[in-house]
């Protein structure tokens, strides 16, 4: 089966094409194209994963382009890394497409939504199995396009339109860095093939500083796509898209593909150890920073969005300190399930109460049983409470940071873990427990239909149990000889107790309906509160940068209009003279024109003879 | 197959069409349109036949050579290699599409198509002329019809713009001609034949002190056409004031003449000087990219934005030619074709929007996805193609230009990627302003896109996707010419 892995992305592609051409006639039934295709893709994907676990491998490549001495083939590769993704991506995408049949029901652009999602899944799967940088980059950018289109799904709202543009533009900044890295590598190795990059770069014996520069350029791609500091600013705004999109693209798959790229090119990262330290620091700082911001968000999707930024930071931290990509990859997989589930749960809540403001919710547990239970499971996984999956994937990352020579990374990660547990406790308590704060919305709340709740339960199984059952074998499968880091008793006590502490603090503050303490705390910590509310001022920084660029653009345009053009027009008398000559031409006498030309040629010839021909 | 003068037939069928059009009664606009379309299609058919009989990797083919002005050693010398073939294909396709787009013209239709067909003959001729004087001849013939097309059927300050276009290009043409004559006298071989002159490069050569000057003359003449900043100032005016069909041909085909001339004439015949000035030209290329993109970013006028966008994209072509590696030059030629498709699409769309709203102010639009449906979607497609989205043609060109430039001018690449971000910026903002947001009351009920408009746009979209997914379809014929060009540049 592994040799036919190209069928997996071909299925959603077929669904995309069918939806484009038959969608209008079928109405909402067109969703079945995608649902059926992804159902089959899931079976194939899981089959390939099982076979790969049994030792099967594949690498298929066909010639695509020949430019002079350089040949650029296209192909796919099935190894443990891509197989793991094939086990996860189609399943998550399948659940989200089923869920969307309920969530997007009666949306006037229902089919456009399914078109874009199917195209997205195609691109995602191509990126996962691509055997070379060029194909990967193409799929990566198509994903960006779909993300842009889906963030702007309800484009009539100017805010959504701005969010879509921002997402594309900010990730584009990372992408040009990635492209420069690819060109630099190609100029050394003459290949885009992933498996040949590290040996060829190693053989080229480049200076360490050059290697670091190359690797950091490549890392700019993940910086944008996986929303790492300082290019994270697009992801929270991306919540403007429909919630299933947030679950699929902006939590489970696309944003994680930056981490996947680091894993895919891990051999070249290992050639530049100082670049890996950068990766670790950026990951740790992002994990901490985003977690602090999540603590003050009141929009449930924004909490989850900053949480995603934070968790992607943990994955990068894992890449940086674990000495293997397996730790970060395991967190990627577990996160895909529990964060995807959290977003789907949030969607179910929003579906029920028609608001995203947690302060208007409360007491929803009684009304939304299935949603609440699955959301709580995913929250426990995210908070890193054993035996849920998040614990098994986050703990080795923190342990590796503990063992690394960079204690700051560990402490940032640990504080982040505390904050993660705290803000999820806060979110769950505000949403599901206590007294309803808005009686009207509470009265109208109703559990979502089965088409939405069944996917929640399906996602809840791996979110809860994946760590317990596969954490032992996962690392060794992905990178032979790897064992998850063990920080010893000291680290274990810390990594276990900080999340529990976070839950406790969250429960103390938000457990009762009384708000006096919260108000007092906000007043006491006003500057910090404002700083967090303003998201560390990164958005303002980005806007300032944009206005500077626009200012320069304005100056360039004015320069062009008044200086360059001004000089041309300013040859005043001459222009007037030619203007009169022009009128002769406009009368239609082409002879005059030809005469002018001949005259000019004659002058030129004479000049030529004079200067010494 | 190659015995028949297919090239002459392809080139002069439009001219024949122009003559036939002259006999069409003034009132019979439909007949004039039909005649034009028939002759353009026949000419395109000839190009197709040439392409089918073409053998990649065999150098110049379909050679036609005859004395023209024997006293001056000027010959009528036509031939195609892969580069010419690709440009012929682009010209033929764009010619038909622009002719269809011009169906909306109702004033002096007969004269319009006479001039348009003459223009097509000149453009086709340029891309297969292998005699320098023939090249200049077609180059100059091209200017006259375009001057009238802008001046008569244009908008706004059309006379000013037409004249500006004419003055700049004639000046460029004269400077180039002086350079060519200097080359002729200095080689002393009494030939204007490009292949023959190219042979001389490897053996006996123009005196070194002359080479740089001759190169600069020819380069400057062609640079007006590309256009290279700061010689570009005719372009925004000419583009904005030209009728849609004029803008389409201007952007899609005519701008390519400059770049084609670099590859065929200035760099090819004077490689030592070209290498000498390579870094300088690369800097000009980067300036084009960044300056054009900046100027485009600040535009409010939709058509001006597309015009400056052309300046920016032609910078990639210039940079690739300056770098002179196999990857970069292949990328540059690919970018020429791709930009022809994308700029063609964008100017057609400017026309689609302008015809309905009579405005080009982007801030006055908004919500056009809703208002125009498919038409809005096609603009979204064109915007994405223009910003270089992979799987569409623009990406391949720019990617390989910069990949090939990286080994030669690394710093230039880092400046160019700044341009890439800006290009994404102005395209995204353009789409946001025009297409997204709430539907505007004043545009409600605008007519949907017509079948005729779709006929002009859909083929360009299809080519754009085809070339994006299967770039080898044209790159395989470019292999030989580019290799020869690169090898030539290697001769110092």
Q: Does B295 touch chain A (CB under 8 A)?
A: yes
Of B424, B433, B436, B368, nearest in space to B398 by CA: B424
pLDDT score for B203: 59
Of B374, B338, B352, B397, nearest in space to B93 by CA: B338
Give the B window 79-138 contacts with A, CB below 8 Å.
none
B1-9 own/partner pairs: CB under 8 Å, 24+ apart: B1/B49, B1/B53, B2/B53, B2/B61, B2/B62, B5/B64, B6/B46, B6/B49, B6/B50, B6/B53, B6/B62, B7/B50, B7/B62, B7/B64, B7/B78, B7/B79, B7/B80, B7/B128, B8/B64, B8/B78, B9/B43, B9/B46
Q: Does B141 touch chain A (CB under 8 A)?
A: no
| Confidence tier at A185 by pLDDT (50, 70, 90) | very high
pLDDT score for B79: 94
Instruction: Give the residue with greater pLDDT, A567 vs B430.
Output: B430
- What does the pLDDT average to over A354-368? 87
Residue A418, pLDDT > 90, answer yes
Residue B410, pLDDT > 50, answer yes
Of B194, B196, B60, B66, nearest in space to B130 by CA: B194
pLDDT score for B167: 86
Q: Does B283 touch chain A (CB under 8 A)?
A: no
Q: Residue B194 half-sphere exposure, CB side, CA atoms within 13 Å?
A: 28
pLDDT score for A612: 45
Q: Does B428 touch chain A (CB under 8 A)?
A: yes
Residue A179, pLDDT > 60, answer yes
Token pair in block for residue A198: 């590290």
Cα–Cα separations (whole angstroms), residue B139 to B7, B142, B173, B186: 17, 5, 8, 23
Contact A145 B389 (CB under 8 A): yes
pLDDT score for B311: 94
| Confidence tier at B230 by pLDDT (50, 70, 90) | confident
> What are the chain A neighbours of B326 within 8 Å (beta carbons)?
67-70
- Residues A542 and B27: their CA atoms lie apart, in Å, by 60
Q: Does A610 touch chain B (CB under 8 A)?
A: no
- What does the pLDDT average to over B92-106? 94
Give chain B's mean pLDDT.
91
Of A455, A433, A227, nearest in space to A351 by CA: A455
Give the A window 151-180 contacts with B, CB below 8 Å.
152, 155-158, 160-162, 164-165, 168-169, 172-173, 176-177, 179-180
Of A554, A160, A176, nearest in space to B424 by CA: A176
Q: What pLDDT digit, counting tens, does each position of B3-35 carry?
A: 789 999 999 999 999 999 988 888 888 999 999
Distance of CA A503 to the CA centre of its chain: 28
Contact B436 A158 (CB under 8 A): yes
Distance of CA A173 to the CA centre of its chain: 14
Q: Which of B114, B233, B370 to mutate to test the interface with A (most CBs of A within 10 A)?
A: B233
Q: What pLDDT digit, counting tens, does each position of B358-372 carry?
A: 989 898 998 888 888
Output the CA torsion sign for A567, A568, A574, A575.
negative
| Confidence tier at B46 by pLDDT (50, 70, 90) | very high
- Residue in the block written with tokens 């608001």: A355
Contact A165 B486 (CB under 8 A): no
Q: What pLDDT digit, counting tens, does each position of A248-294 carry?
A: 999 999 999 999 999 999 999 999 999 999 999 999 999 999 999 99
| Confidence tier at B133 by pLDDT (50, 70, 90) | very high
Of B488, B475, B308, B409, nearest in space to A554 by CA: B308
In this complex, which of B389, B417, B418 lies closest to A141 when CB atoms are compared? B389
Q: What pLDDT digit, counting tens, does each position of B279-305 carry?
A: 999 999 999 999 999 999 999 999 999
Contacts of residue B279, defined as CB under 8 A and 6 or more positions apart, other chains included, come to B322, B409
| Confidence tier at A613 by pLDDT (50, 70, 90) | very low
Q: Return the minimum-mean-pLDDT range out of A103-112, A563-572, B168-177, B433-442.
A: A563-572
Q: What pLDDT digit, counting tens, does each position of A474-496 carry?
A: 888 888 888 887 878 888 889 89
pLDDT score for B492: 44
- Residues A127 and A559: their CA atoms lie apart, in Å, by 43
The pTM (predicted TM-score) of the whole model is 0.92
| Confidence tier at A130 by pLDDT (50, 70, 90) | very high
Residue A396, pLDDT > 50, answer yes
Task: Tell me which chain B residue has its CA closest to the CA of residue A565.
Answer: B233
Of A298, A444, A307, A326, nearest in space to A378 by CA: A307
Residue B204, pLDDT > 70, answer no
Are the beta carbons of A317 and A397 closer than 8 angstroms? yes
- Residues A342 and A339: their CA atoms lie apart, in Å, by 5
Residue A581, pLDDT > 80, answer no
Quote the percentage of chain B above a pLDDT of 70: 98
In angstroms, the separation between the Cα of residue A296 and the nearest Cα of chain B is: 30
pLDDT score for A580: 62
Residue B68, pLDDT > 50, answer yes
- Residues B235 and B239: their CA atoms lie apart, in Å, by 6
Q: What pLDDT digit, counting tens, does each position of A288-341 carry?
A: 999 999 999 999 999 999 999 999 999 999 999 988 888 999 999 999 999 999
Q: Return the minimum-mean-pLDDT range out of A54-58, A157-161, A515-519, B87-91.
A: A515-519
Contact B437 A564 (CB under 8 A): no
pLDDT score for A367: 87
Task: Tell me which chain B residue has its CA closest to the CA of residue A159.
Answer: B437
| Confidence tier at B51 by pLDDT (50, 70, 90) | very high
Task: Tell me which chain B residue has its CA closest to the CA of residue A580.
Answer: B163
Contact A604 B178 (CB under 8 A): yes
pLDDT score for A234: 93
DSSP label at A59?
Answer: E
Q: What pLDDT digit, counting tens, does each position of A131-142 carry?
A: 999 999 999 999
| Confidence tier at A107 by pLDDT (50, 70, 90) | confident
Residue A79, pLDDT > 50, answer yes
pLDDT score for A601: 60
Element counts in chain A: helices (H) and strands (E): 27, 2
Instruction: Give the residue with greater pLDDT, A498 vs A362.
Output: A498
Direct distance between the N- and C-terminal alpha carbons of chain B, in angstroms, rounded to an integer: 39
Are the beta carbons of B241 and B234 closer than 8 angstroms? no
DSSP assignments along A180-191, one per residue: HHHHHHHHHHS-
Residue A593, pLDDT > 60, answer no
pLDDT score for A592: 54
Give the B window 170-199 contacts with A, CB below 8 Å.
170, 173-175, 177-178, 181-182, 185-186
Of B483, B472, B470, B480, nearest in space to B56 by CA: B480
Are the beta carbons of A239 and A302 closer than 8 angstroms? yes
């Amino acid at each position: 089966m592994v040799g036919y892995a190209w069928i997996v992305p071909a299925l959603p592609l077929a669904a995309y094409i069918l939806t484009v051409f038959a969608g209008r006639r079928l109405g909402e039934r067109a969703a079945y194209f995608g649902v059926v295709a992804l159902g089959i893709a899931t079976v194939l994907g899981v089959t390939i994963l099982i076979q790969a676990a049994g030792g099967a491998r594949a690498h298929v490549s066909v010639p695509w382009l020949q430019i002079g001495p350089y040949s650029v083939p296209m192909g796919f590769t099935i190894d443990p890394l891509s197989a793991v993704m094939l086990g996860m991506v189609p399943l998550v995408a399948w659940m989200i497409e089923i869920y969307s049949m309920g969530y997007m029901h009666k949306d006037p652009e229902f089919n456009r939504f399914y078109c874009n999602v199917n195209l997205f899944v195609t691109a995602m799967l191509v990126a996962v199995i691509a055997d070379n940088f060029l194909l990967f980059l193409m799929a990566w950018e198509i994903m960006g396009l779909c993300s842009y289109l889906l963030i702007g799904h309800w484009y009539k709202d100017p805010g959504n339109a701005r969010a879509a543009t921002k997402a594309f533009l900010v990730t584009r900044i990372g992408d040009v860095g990635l492209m420069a890295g690819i060109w630099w590598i190609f100029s050394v190795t003459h290949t885009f093939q992933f498996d040949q990059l590290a040996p060829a770069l190693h053989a080229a014996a480049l200076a360490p500083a050059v290697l670091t520069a190359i690797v950091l350029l490549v890392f700019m791609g993940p910086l944008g796509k996986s929303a790492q500091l300082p290019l994270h600013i697009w992801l929270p705004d991306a919540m403007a898209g429909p919630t299933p999109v947030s679950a699929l693209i902006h939590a489970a798959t696309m944003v994680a593909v930056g981490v996947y790229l680091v894993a895919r090119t891990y051999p070249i990262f290992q050639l530049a150890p100082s670049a890996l330290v950068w990766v670790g620091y950026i990951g740790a700082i992002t994990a901490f920073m985003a977690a602090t911001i999540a603590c003050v968000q009141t929009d449930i999707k924004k909490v989850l969005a900053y949480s995603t930024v934070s968790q992607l930071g943990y994955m990068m931290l894992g890449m940086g300190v674990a000495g293997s990509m397996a730790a970060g990859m395991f967190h990627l997989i577990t996160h895909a399930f529990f964060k995807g589930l959290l977003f789907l749960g949030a969607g179910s809540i929003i579906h029920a109460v028609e608001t995203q403001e947690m302060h208007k919710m409360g007491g929803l547990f009684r009304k939304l049983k299935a949603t609440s239970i699955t959301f709580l499971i995913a929250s426990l996984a995210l908070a890193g409470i054993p035996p849920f999956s998040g614990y098994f994937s986050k703990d080795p990352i923190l342990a590796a940071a503990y063992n690394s020579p960079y204690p700051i990374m560990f402490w940032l990660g640990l504080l982040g873990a505390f904050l993660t547990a705290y803000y999820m406790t806060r979110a769950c308590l505000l949403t599901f427990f206590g007294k309803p704060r808005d009686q009207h919305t509470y009265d109208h709340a109703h559990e979502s239909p089965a088409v939405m709740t069944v996917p929640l339960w399906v996602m809840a199984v791996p979110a809860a149990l994946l760590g317990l059952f596969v954490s032992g074998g996962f690392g060794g499968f992905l990178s032979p000889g790897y064992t998850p880091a063990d920080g010893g008793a000291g680290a274990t006590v810390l990594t276990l107790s900080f999340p529990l502490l976070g839950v406790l603090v969250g429960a103390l503050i938000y457990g009762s309906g009384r708000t006096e303490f919260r108000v007092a705390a906000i007043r006491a910590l006003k500057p910090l509160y404002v700083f967090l509310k303003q998201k560390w001022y990164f958005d303002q920084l980005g806007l300032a940068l944009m206005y500077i660029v626009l200012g320069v653009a304005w100056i360039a345009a004015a320069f062009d209009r008044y200086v360059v053009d001004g000089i041309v027009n300013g040859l005043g008398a001459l222009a007037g003279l030619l203007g009169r000559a022009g009128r002769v031409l406009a009368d239609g006498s082409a002879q005059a024109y030809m005469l002018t030309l001949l005259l000019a040629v004659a002058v030129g010839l004479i000049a030529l003879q004079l200067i010494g021909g | 197959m190659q015995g028949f003068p297919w090239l002459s037939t392809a080139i002069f069928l439009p001219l024949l069409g122009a003559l036939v059009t002259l006999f069409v009664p003034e009132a019979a606009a439909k007949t004039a349109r039909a005649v034009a379309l028939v002759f353009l299609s026949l000419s395109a058919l000839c190009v197709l036949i040439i392409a089918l009989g073409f053998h990649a990797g065999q150098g110049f083919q379909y050679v036609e050579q005859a004395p023209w002005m024997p006293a001056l050693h000027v010959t009528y010398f036509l031939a195609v290699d892969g580069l010419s073939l690709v440009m012929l294909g682009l010209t033929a396709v764009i010619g038909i599409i622009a002719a269809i787009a011009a169906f909306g013209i109702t004033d002096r239709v007969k004269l319009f198509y006479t001039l348009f067909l003459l223009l097509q003959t000149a453009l086709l001729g340029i891309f297969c002329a292998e005699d320098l004087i023939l090249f200049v001849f077609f180059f100059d013939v091209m200017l006259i019809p375009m001057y009238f097309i802008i001046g008569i059927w244009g908008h706004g300050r059309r006379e000013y713009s037409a004249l500006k276009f004419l003055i700049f290009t004639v000046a460029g043409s004269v400077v180039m001609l002086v350079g060519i004559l200097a080359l002729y006298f200095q080689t002393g071989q009494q030939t204007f034949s490009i292949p023959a002159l190219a042979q001389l490069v490897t053996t006996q050569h123009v005196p070194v002190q002359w080479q740089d000057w001759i190169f600069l003359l020819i380069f400057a003449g062609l640079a007006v056409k590309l256009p290279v900043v700061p010689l570009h100032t005719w372009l925004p005016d000419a583009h904005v004031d030209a009728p849609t069909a004029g803008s389409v041909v201007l952007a899609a085909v005519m701008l390519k003449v400059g770049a084609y001339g670099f590859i065929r004439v200035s760099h090819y015949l004077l490689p030592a000087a070209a290498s000498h000035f390579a870094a300088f030209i690369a800097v000009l290329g980067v300036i084009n990219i960044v300056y054009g993109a900046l100027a485009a970013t600040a535009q409010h006028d939709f058509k001006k934005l597309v015009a400056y966008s052309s300046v920016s994209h032609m910078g990639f072509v210039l940079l690739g030619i300056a770098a002179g590696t196999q990857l970069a030059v292949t990328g540059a030629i690919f970018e020429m074709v791709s930009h022809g498709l994308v700029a063609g699409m964008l100017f057609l769309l400017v026309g689609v929007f302008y015809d309905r709203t009579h405005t080009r102010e982007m801030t006055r639009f908004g919500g056009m996805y809703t208002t125009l449906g498919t038409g809005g979607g096609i603009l979204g497609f064109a915007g994405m193609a223009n910003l270089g989205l992979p799987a569409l043609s623009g990406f391949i060109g720019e990617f390989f230009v910069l990949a090939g430039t990286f080994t030669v001018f690394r710093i230039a690449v880092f400046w160019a990627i700044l341009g890439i971000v800006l290009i994404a910026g102005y395209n995204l903002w353009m789409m946001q302003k025009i297409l997204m947001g709430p539907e505007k009351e004043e545009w409600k009920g605008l007519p949907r896109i017509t079948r005729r408009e779709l006929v002009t746009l859909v083929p360009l979209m299809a080519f754009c996707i085809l070339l994006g997914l299967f770039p080898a379809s044209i790159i395989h014929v470019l292999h030989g010419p580019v290799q020869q060009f690169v090898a030539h540049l290697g001769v110092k």
